[in-house]
Structure 1
Amino acid sequence: MSLGPYASFIVTSYAAAAVVIAILIGWVVLDHRSLTARLREFDRSGVTRRSGRSAVDS
């Protein structure tokens, strides 16, 4: 398979896009872990969510 005279540009572009996507996926995974840990911490300390209350609780 020959990509022609622009092979290095094409391969570099695809590699750069793959790296950016991998970084974004890693960022989302790390953020999810951080927020999950923070929510667990709030649950342990007794903080509740407003969405967990019914309308008659106010």
Structure 2
Amino acid sequence: MMMSLGPYAPFIVTSYAAAALVVVILIGWIVLDYRSQTQRLRDFDRSGITRRSGRSGSDQR
């Protein structure tokens, strides 16, 4: 059953489409940033840089 949106249909449809587009762009941005960050961490691991949180308690001052 289709809902009648009346005279404001173009505005409503455009608003929903714009909101959906923003959500898709944000999801894409998050995915790309995640890949970038994991690649950076792999590069750091390969170069011998370790995380401070990875040290044992006896290593800390």
**Is the structural similarity TM-score above 0.5?**
yes
How far off its partner does 1:42 sit?
A: 0.4
Amino acid at match of 1:20: V
How far off its partner does 1:32 sit?
A: 0.2
How far off its partner does 1:55 sit?
A: 1.9
Alignment length, in residue pairs? Answer: 58
Match of 2:15 among 8, 13, 20: 13
Following TM superposition, where does structure 1 have runs of at least 4 consecutive aligned residues deviating by more than 3 angstroms? none
How far off its partner does 1:54 sit?
A: 1.6
How far off its partner does 1:41 sit?
A: 0.3
Structure 2 gaps, min length 5: none
Structure 1 gaps, min length 5: none
Q: 1:43 maps to what in 2?
A: 45
Amino acid at match of 1:42: F
- CA-atom RMSD in angstroms: 0.7
Q: 2: CA distance between counterparts of 1:49 and 1:34?
A: 18
* TM-score normalised by length of structure 2: 0.90
Q: 1: CA distance between counterparts of 2:14 and 2:54?
A: 49
